[in-house]
Structure 1
């Protein structure tokens, strides 16, 4: 029997078929509960700290308080935008007027600074991921803290959960005195009897869990002061394993767990001549001077916001070319859950897992996200890739292990044989070249009996980098490849090419997707129907639904070479439309007419999720709030220190609201510079190339935290459906 009530989700789904499934599920559960010695409402129970990624209950409580504040009445359907509501409750800055950064700072409340930095900063170091290890990794066993103490738990497969049981209100009102609680494991073995005040909930420290339901759970009885006995023989926790894989649109790129904090009074002048540093000055030789057409004459375009560093806090000024300055600068960089992948807790998979735990407190969620910025199917999933940052120095990480290999290490039991080797052949190419080759990848899977458990749900975002997403974006915002040539030299690849090159890659994407489907089935026994493959959010539209370009430099004035070309953006937009159509065909060729013959045949069987894309159609990277267009456009400018009044205009970067509510749901290069501020390692921080690098490699053209919440609302509807279908099968 499935334990507990089924969450009401009518508000989040609209189809009569979905309603029928929910009613059927509820009916099965209700009938099963009716056979138990106590009515379902006599005893109430919930899992303590059910999102198993968090070490501390306080981390989950942060989200639960926000969820309850915006949930509405418990008997009402869960709102369809519940994740978005929770996100806004958590990340709205503490100020009376949040219409602009300056207005918010002027009306700041007591918790302004903490709220401005976002909720993830509070849980960055209280989770089961070791971001200080090299390579960074999920802990095999995690010390999770509860109200009663600490338990060492396997991150993938727990052997028990902590459960809190209390009397229902109708019994508690008449239960004055002590209650005698008794519980025992359903599979047999020793239990426990506790006598305590009836007002005090019973904490069962370790409720057994097994992938075999019959071996899970406890039976609980309580004798009230008047002699009545209430019993629930089926307190069984539903633990689901969710795995996220893919690229930057799943990793949370552009939304660090702790964003950069900027100085209110000091600027960073990107002119290495000032440092008298041999390394820094190399890029200035023969470099032209430049200006920014949209900026006032009194603004130096090379002057940009500077991180708030310890020298300023101590009333000092470190010599720019000194090791002391570099160390202080690095120390105040953005903080990520996993800096090698620019993975953060704002990524939509985390929010899906959290929501599933929040709305059903009889459920625990075991969660792993391996999504990594820059990944494509070949370089990232099957093969290794370069880390996003921190590749030099004593703490460097040279390579990111393929996501499929990372998952194998987590899923396979320690010491399990890896005899199920398989070879996968993928089409490969050098980005920018239309010459297609192939590469084989050999994987060593552990046999099914050596896997710790099945994977219940896979959240997947992949395909964009396979066709050159970053290069297409660069094509839309620059006149020629020469504009980004110095940056291309730094990263060792072509950063800009036209859509006709991407179409060559699109023509072989189906072969890569088939290999991925086969690997998930071969290596982990994943049912393709439990894979939710996300469509990419459109990034290219303004508030009217037109492609960016009417305001060529809005959100781009961090660097003078960046501006939208309407015709080029339209070309990219046409391609991304075709990309989504092809991805739909690859998932299910019956989904739309006119699908070409593909390597995936009738489809991968993945569920392609695209409902959320409509929410971004007028809220892209260049979109301004239609109710306050001019004011919003001004707030989208890059703050610079005015030489005339010696103040930052149009607002202080120290007042930036990286996670505040905005009309646009996609980060611009200006936003990215002010949020993650990623600088290229190995060259002077003052190098003239750094502003462009910091703008483009900090997550520009990726969803905001609010955008990820909107995506999560769409994905969680499908996740509920998959888990509810499985629950019906379990009950029967």
Structure 2
């Protein structure tokens, strides 16, 4: 006989959502599954139909009791699990199966059905259910089989920063308007405003003149416009953290459930964009964005404190923890700002608001502050994982600025002309990319694994399981990499020379794109050569208006000059795409299996997906990528 746990990724309320993942992963790994799912979703995002059917509340927090496939379950301490049992032997037509199910908790079950039929039942948690079947043919000998069913429920937590959370990949991406939306600049010239696609459905005034109106009643109109604008934002699994179903941690935990039919995975998503060790993991942090509906607390609780409460309520330690942290500690977003924000009024203000810092400043933090922060982090995490940090799978970062293993992207406005002040100048890009490769990535590996010169009290129990197998692949898929198989919109509308948008302000309000396609033709989740979001991608996918900006940078209205910068940068610029996250999940899985003592699934022969009608094949399947 055979048996399996149904809908065994317990964050999903609906079995159909889990089964869709099972079917897709038969293509061979998470990356191939992602491409297949997006092929079916036309690049619009498979998660948009799943995000509203999770065991989370409107704010993105776990619920205590979740109704899954019609059954109310305690999320952290389920009393039982749904299983499917089938007779797997060769049985002639007309053979009947006499089944007996017995354990020391429930009454014995006995039933006789056709052997081609399956049994769906629930088995109690923590005990063995003995299953016996006799297959009785019309003629011939009886076949007898016995099996013990005991579901192994794995408590898996995901902690860390924006890379851990899935930043850049909202579950429901922004719906783009074909009309232009005006942003001001800090310049006092004829070029002091510009137009970009706005949010579809927004009913307010899209011009900058309305924002400058000081007549009576204008303030109320501006407030109403802001509220309407916010209602048409992107949808996140957890808006305060910009946490997404596309994040590598969620995808890896889901893949473990897909691969292992006789386990259940109770997944705890806690990673939060903007998190550092001090503010995010060990202490609370400012919310990235408020949810589209419901109240907004303005902050997110410390991830470690949340997990302590979960462990206490679950009555057990964490079986596996995925972790990525350290980039915000060295102010990586400031390094990005340093590269791409031109020497303008925007750069001067961003510098004062900590959105621009130098590699030297980051290196000082890396040497002087981050090691002590990791000491505190190890101390906080050990009790949550049974005293051994081997259960913590630290997944490192990929260098986002490479076009191949030995070459940094050449830079320029390609992918960054969504704002007039953005330009990845080579003289700024090269030192940052070198710092990431030669200083930051080796340092976080040493910190996670108690490497040379790192203070660890007991290396055997304080060294984390480390993953960086995805880094060579990321070196071939940096933000500048293009291919002839990229989506048509990218090839036609994102100019390599920085001329993607209409500059004539008599034309731009009605059509802000320089190409002859519509903004809504952009496909945020289509397969493409780059695995790293550009600023253009970030704006066209998330168009974030973040909360909690420093007072110096707080815009006064939705057309304010600072929104143009932060809406391009805070929604995930220089973060992995869904394909990048899928590749990270594939890299993390071997280590996760080893920690959990789970089998490696049988080899799957993989090949590029066949092209759909009128759709180019995936980048890895055809023409070589190029800059």
The TM-score with structure 1 as length reference comes to 0.72
> Is contact 1:162–1:203 with CA below 8 Å preserved after alignment?
yes
Shift of 1:624: 1.9
The answer to whether the 8 Å contact 2:346/2:562 transfers is no
CA shift in 2, pair 1:222/1:619, >3 Å: same
| Distance (Å, rounded) in 1 between the aligned partners of 2:388 and 2:358 | 37
For residues 50 and 291 of structure 2, the distance between their equivalents in structure 1, rounded to whole angstroms, comes to 25
Q: Tell me the equivalent position of 2:163.
A: 249
Task: Supply the distance in 2 between the matched residues of 1:601 and 1:202 (Cα, whole angstroms).
Answer: 50
**CA shift digits 1:452-508 (9 cap, x unpaired):** 12211110000111111111111111344853344577xxx4111111111121113
Match of 2:463 among 605, 608, 613: 605
Counterpart of 1:121 in structure 2 is 48
SS of 1:412's equivalent?
Answer: helix
Counterpart of 2:616 in structure 1 is none
Report the equivalent of 2:408.
Answer: 547
Matched, 1:190 2:190: no
Residue of structure 1 in register with 2:123 after alignment:
207
CA distance, structure 2, for counterparts of residue 217 and residue 352 of structure 1: 29
Which residue in 1 is equivalent to 2:514? Answer: 649
Q: Say which of 27, 32, 55 aligns to 1:85.
A: 32
Answer whether contact 1:49 1:57 (CA < 8 A) is retained. Answer: yes
Give a deviation string over 1:487-531, Cα, whole Å, max 9, x none: 577xxx411111111112111312211221111113452521111
Contact 2:157 2:320 in 1 (8 A): yes
Task: Describe the superposition over 1:510-569 as per-residue Cα deviations: whole angstroms up to 9, x where unpaired.
Answer: 221122111111345252111111111111123685223x34111010112111122322
- Hey, what does 2:376 align to over in structure 1? 515
Displacement of 1:235 in angstroms is: 1.9
Structure 1, unpaired ranges of 5+: 1-42, 72-81, 95-113, 272-282, 292-300, 313-318, 414-450, 728-732
Any conservation in 2 of the 1:305–1:639 contact (CA below 8 Å)?
no
Does the Cα contact within 8 Å between 1:207 and 1:218 map onto a contact in 2? no
Q: CA deviation at 1:358?
A: 1.1
1:152 match: secondary structure: strand
* C-alpha distance in structure 2 between counterparts of 1:600 and 1:289, whole Å: 62
Q: CA deviation at 1:137?
A: 1.5
Counterpart contact for 2:375–2:455, Cα < 8 Å: no
In 2, the alpha carbon distance for the partners of 1:143 and 1:410 equals 19
Q: 2:237, 2:332 → 1: CA distance?
A: 24
CA distance in 1: counterparts of 2:350 and 2:200, whole angstroms: 26
Distance 1:153 1:159 in 2: 7
Aligned residues: 567
Relative to 1, partners in 2 of residues 1:626 and 1:586: Cα closer, same or farther, differing over 3 Å?
farther
Equivalents in 2 of 1:487, 1:478: separation in Å?
8
Listed one character per residue, the Cα deviations across residues 142-176 of structure 1 (whole Å, up to 9, x for unaligned) are: 1111xxxx3222222322211101111523xx141
1:409 is displaced (CA, Å) by 1.6
Gaps of 5+ in 2: 205-209, 212-220, 548-554, 601-627
Q: How far apart in 2 are the matches of 1:724 and 1:346? A: 25
Which residue, 193, 197, 221 being the options, matches 2:133?
221
Runs of 4+ in 1 over 6 A off after TM superposition: 391-394, 626-631
Distance 1:141 1:129 in 2: 10
| Counterpart secondary structure, 1:618 | coil
Alignment CA distance shift 1:456-1:717 (3 Å): same
Secondary structure, aligned partner of 2:403: coil
The residue number in structure 1 matching 2:283 is 383
**What pairs up with 1:166-181 in 2 under 5 angstroms?**
166-168=86-88, 170-171=90-91, 174-176=92-94, 178-181=96-99
**2:182 corresponds to 1:269:** yes
Q: Which moved more, 1:506-515 or 1:252-261?
A: 506-515
Residues 98 and 112 of structure 2 are in contact (CA less than 8 Å); yes or no, is this contact kept in structure 1? yes
What whole-Å deviation, never above 9, does each CA across 1:182-211 have from its counterpart, x for those lacking one?
2112x454221123333220112x21222x
Choose which of 667, 690, 715 in structure 1 pairs with 2:588: 715
Q: What secondary structure sits across from 2:257 in the alignment?
A: helix
